[in-house]
Amino acid sequence: MKYVRPCSLFNVMIKKAKEMEKREAVGEFSCLFGLNILEDFISIGISLNGRRVAASYGTIKIKDQNIYNIAHDLRCHCFAENVAGIVVGLPGTLKNENPDGAKVKSFVDRLCNTGKLEGLDLNYTYLEERFASKLMEKRLEFWPPGKEWILELNSGVGILEGYLDLYGDADAGAGAGDGDGDGDGDACIPVGSLPLPLDSLCYLPPLLTAKDHQLT
């Protein structure tokens, strides 16, 4: 699994989609995964076919799991969905890196070092969580108490939606900075200046609940 800059990942997906079209892979689509790595599980969002919008995909359990098993599960889902790239949520601040961000990067390095994700032509990048979409929170404004749990289950969607808002349009990401937490141009992204994509407003994918979130 290879790291690429945030502005490059969307183009990687488009390139893979064109390759599938040349092979006349009818019914097959290239997509992106959005991951939010939490203490007990990984929340996964997936980009929908033909839309610049994300939906909930599921979670992979972390607690009490071997890193090789986690990498194997992720590989299976990436293969099944023709995933071209992964956007990983990165806790961080404007001026310096959050210790939790270092933990996330270390976890991703461990996943890569298992070798389980080799051979899939996978690329990944980071997006600071401060750029995550707030659409999910708006959908839950009128939910009863306890909605924080639902937000965590679906947090991978917010990461991916935030990425697609910034980079899903060829012009939207131009000169916008990185947002990957390396300090190179990150502060240039005008937070809140990019509108939500029309698809995000017209189509609201179902939310995961405690009953149906775990993939394995």
> At 95, which CATH number?
3.30.420.140
Residue 53 lies in domain: 2-202
Backbone angles phi, psi at 207, to 5 degrees: -90, 150
Angle between helical axes of 99-113 and 67-80 (0-180°, round to 10) = 80
What would the mean pLDDT of 74-81 be, rounded to a whole number?
94
Residue-wise pLDDT tens digits, 91-123: 876 556 678 889 999 999 999 999 999 999 899
Classify residue 210: in a domain, yes or no. no
- Which of the residue ranges 101-105, 138-142, 190-194, 210-214 has the most confident prediction, judged by mean pLDDT? 101-105
- Residue at 184: amino acid letter: D
pLDDT at 214: 58
Classify residue 18: in a domain, yes or no. yes
Max CA pair span of the chain: 50
- Please tell me the distance from the alpha carbon of residue 110 to that of residue 44, in angstroms, as a whole number: 18
Q: Total structural domains in the chain?
A: 1
Classify residue 211: in a domain, yes or no. no
- Which of the residue ranges 69-73, 154-158, 198-202 has the most confident prediction, judged by mean pLDDT? 69-73
pLDDT at 193: 28
- Look at residue 67 and tell me whether its pLDDT is greater than 90: yes
pTM for this predicted structure = 0.76
Classify residue 172: in a domain, yes or no. yes
Classify residue 49: in a domain, yes or no. yes
Classify residue 73: in a domain, yes or no. yes
Element (H, E) at 151: helix 147-153
